[in-house]
């Protein structure tokens, strides 16, 4: 903390904040602290301090522009107050009309990725080809190498755009599957009951 | 639903008994026509006024298990894995898969919810901003070289000869008349000699005229050998000559 205070005293963080502000205006995807430090040729700690300043300045309901931490970086977005006006002028082709199959496929790739289409099909019990193709087209998932061995299936992972569209700081911000899960023990009991009835 | 009566090729009796036989391995799954069982069940359902959801659910689970069993038997490599699974283990495995799917279904629901909550967040999308700027390395250039290159491009291209397009075909009729006039004066003439002075195209048309006269029966053609001169004679004269020769 002391060192940060000292640095701020040498070069006011406000000036750095202005440069960062400019970079974020130019950017069309979130910028990480590392990228901002590289562009401003400044210390990451000072960049973080400047971002803190900007976060306060561009908080929701304080400005038409909001600074958010999303997809592993920082980005400006429109304030929620302006969303209706935005919707009148712009479209959101990325997430418009996402089907249930596409959402399930997306969930599998987000939680278990990188994974291949056969793996997705095994979990969902139906072919995932068209759902994966639709997600790739939207830019929500992308190819991430192949499975091992000759002729290995292409594996997919989610993109930074996915995190951005869903407003996630990173994939780590997804809720734990255990919190969402059904009671496995209960399911097992029910299956065993059916099995027992079948044998008797 | 266990009272479902079946009449299959390999088995006749209640569904319950079929399952028991399969489990005791007294009946091979590959011999069981699963589709017929489904049809029988659907028929039974249709006869009832109310749908027994519990029975339907149980039937689905059992038929699914039956299908899996049959599939594993039909694919020999999988048989070893099946043998290794006790009923309890199979139930455990199925429960594990179902739980996995349920969890991911819940995750999908969470994503859908999140998406609708985040629908009022608008942001700019575009190409990545901080890609390294592409460096364009060019060798040192001289203005004179550029001028030369432009001069070469600016000069008019050489004009293309259209001479070969000016091919004119004389009418066939011209040669028809000429040959008829010729035959009126002479009984026989040599085609090659007659057209030797003409151009290649005219020779071709003259030959067509000759074929035309032959088709109409006005002339008779003869040629000693391939590429030898073609002799053209009046058709009537030829007949007379042949007749004279024949009677001699």
Question: Do B95 and A174 lie within an 8 Å CB cutoff?
Answer: no
pLDDT of residue B49: 73
For residues B123 and A108, give the distance between their C-alpha atoms in angstroms, rounded to a whole number.
26
pLDDT of residue B127: 58
Question: Do B129 and A192 lie within an 8 Å CB cutoff?
Answer: no
Facing residue for A166 by CB, picked from B62, B99, B118: B118
Q: Are B8 and B32 in contact (CB under 8 A)?
A: yes
The secondary structure of chain A in percent helix, strand, coil, rounded to multiples of 5, reads 60, 15, 30
CA-nearest residue of chain B to A36? B130
DSSP 8-state class, residue B78? G
Interface with chain B: mutation pick from A28, A76, A110, A126, highest number of B CBs within 10 Å: A28
Facing residue for B107 by CB, picked from A78, A83, A111: A111
Q: Residues of A with CB below 8 A from B129's CB?
A: 26-29, 31
Computed over every residue of chain A, the mean pLDDT equals 83
Question: Do A166 and B114 lie within an 8 Å CB cutoff?
Answer: yes
Half-sphere exposure of A149 (CA within 13 A, CB side): 3
Q: Residues of A with CB below 8 A from B126's CB?
A: 28-29
Distance from CA of B122 to the nearest CA of A (A): 5
Range picked from A161-170, B59-68, B79-88 for highest mean pLDDT: A161-170
pLDDT of residue B129: 44
Q: Residues of B with CB below 8 A from A110's CB?
A: 107, 111
For residues A50 and B20, give the distance between their C-alpha atoms in angstroms, rounded to a whole number.
73
What distances in angstroms separate CA A168 from CA A141, B115, B223, one per listed residue? 15, 11, 96
Question: Do B115 and A165 lie within an 8 Å CB cutoff?
Answer: yes
What distances in angstroms separate CA B116 from CA A66, A132, B78, B109, B235, one per listed residue? 19, 21, 44, 11, 99
Q: What is the CA radius of gyration of chain A?
A: 23
Residue with tokens 């060798």: B139
Q: pLDDT, tens digit, for every residue of B161-199?
A: 877 776 678 888 889 998 989 888 888 889 888 888 888
Q: Average pLDDT of A178-184?
A: 62
Interface with chain B: mutation pick from A106, A195, A197, A200, highest number of B CBs within 10 Å: A195
pLDDT of residue B85: 67
In three-state secondary structure terms, A47 is: helix
pLDDT band at B123 (very low <50, low <70, confident <90, very high): confident
Q: pLDDT, tens digit, for every residue of B62-77?
A: 788 778 777 777 765 5
For residues B102 and A123, give the distance between their C-alpha atoms in angstroms, rounded to a whole number.
10
For residues A141 and A161, give the distance between their C-alpha atoms in angstroms, rounded to a whole number.
8
Question: Do A181 and B99 lie within an 8 Å CB cutoff?
Answer: yes
Q: Are A117 and A129 in contact (CB under 8 A)?
A: yes
For residues B100 and A177, give the distance between their C-alpha atoms in angstroms, rounded to a whole number.
9
> What share of chain A has pLDDT > 70, as a percent?
83
Facing residue for B122 by CB, picked from A90, A104, A188: A90
pLDDT of residue B130: 44
Distance from CA of A7 to the nearest CA of B (A): 27
CA-nearest residue of chain A to B64? A125
- Return the exposure string of A70-109: e unless at least 16 CB atoms fall within 10 Å of the residue's CB, then b: bbbbbbbbbbbeeeeebeeeeeeeebeebeebbbbbbbbb
Query: How many C-beta atoms surround the C-beta of residue B58 within 10 A?
Result: 16
Question: Do A192 and B119 lie within an 8 Å CB cutoff?
Answer: no
Residue A2 reports pLDDT greater than 70: no
What distances in angstroms separate CA B169 from CA A115, B161, B181, one per listed residue? 73, 20, 21
Interface with chain B: mutation pick from A180, A196, A199, highest number of B CBs within 10 Å: A180
Q: pLDDT, tens digit, for every residue of A16-69?
A: 999 999 999 888 788 999 999 999 998 999 999 999 999 999 988 888 999 999
């Amino acid at each position: 903390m002391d060192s940060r205070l000292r640095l701020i005293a040498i070069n006011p963080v406000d000036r750095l904040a202005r440069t960062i502000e400019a970079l974020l205006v130019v950017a069309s995807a979130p910028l990480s602290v590392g990228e901002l430090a590289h562009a401003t040729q400044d210390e990451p700690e000072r960049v973080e301090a400047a971002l803190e300043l900007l976060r306060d300045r561009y908080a929701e309901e304080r400005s038409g522009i909001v600074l958010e931490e999303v997809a592993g970086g920082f980005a400006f977005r429109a304030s929620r107050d302006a969303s209706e006006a935005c919707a009148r002028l712009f479209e959101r082709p990325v997430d418009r009309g996402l089907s249930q199959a596409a959402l399930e496929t997306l969930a599998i790739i987000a939680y278990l990725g990188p994974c291949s289409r056969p793996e997705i099909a095994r979990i969902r019990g139906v072919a995932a080809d068209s759902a994966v193709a639709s997600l790739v087209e939207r830019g929500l998932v992308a190819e991430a190498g192949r499975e091992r061995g000759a002729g290995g299936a292409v594996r997919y992972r989610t993109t930074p755009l996915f995190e951005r569209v869903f407003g996630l700081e990173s994939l780590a911000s997804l809720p734990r599957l255990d919190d969402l899960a059904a009671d496995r023990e209960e399911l097992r009991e029910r299956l065993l009951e059916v099995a027992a009835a079948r044998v008797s | 639903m266990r009272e479902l009566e079946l009449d299959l090729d390999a088995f006749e009796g209640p569904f319950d008994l079929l399952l028991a036989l399969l489990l005791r391995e007294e009946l091979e799954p590959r011999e069981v026509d699963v589709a017929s069982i489904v049809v029988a069940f659907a028929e039974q359902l249709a006869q009832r006024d109310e749908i027994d959801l519990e029975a339907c659910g149980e039937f689905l689970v059992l038929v699914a298990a039956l299908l899996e069993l049959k599939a594993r038997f039909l694919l020999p490599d999988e048989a070893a894995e099946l043998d290794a699974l006790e009923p309890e283990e199979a139930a455990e495995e199925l429960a594990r898969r179902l739980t996995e799917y349920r969890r991911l279904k819940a995750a999908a629901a969470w994503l859908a919810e999140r998406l609708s909550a985040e629908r009022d967040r608008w942001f700019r999308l575009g190409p990545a901003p901080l890609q390294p700027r592409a460096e364009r390395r060019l060798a040192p250039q001289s203005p004179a070289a550029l001028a030369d290159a432009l001069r070469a491009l600016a000069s008019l291209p050489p004009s293309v000869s259209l001479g070969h397009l000016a091919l004119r075909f004389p009418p066939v009729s011209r040669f028809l008349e000429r040959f008829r006039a010729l035959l009126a004066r002479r009984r026989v003439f040599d085609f090659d000699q007659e057209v030797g002075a003409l151009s290649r195209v005219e020779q071709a048309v003259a030959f067509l005229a000759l074929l035309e006269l032959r088709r109409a029966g006005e002339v008779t053609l003869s040629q000693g050998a391939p590429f030898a001169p073609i002799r053209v004679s009046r058709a009537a004269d030829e007949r007379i000559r042949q007749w004279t020769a024949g009677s001699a």
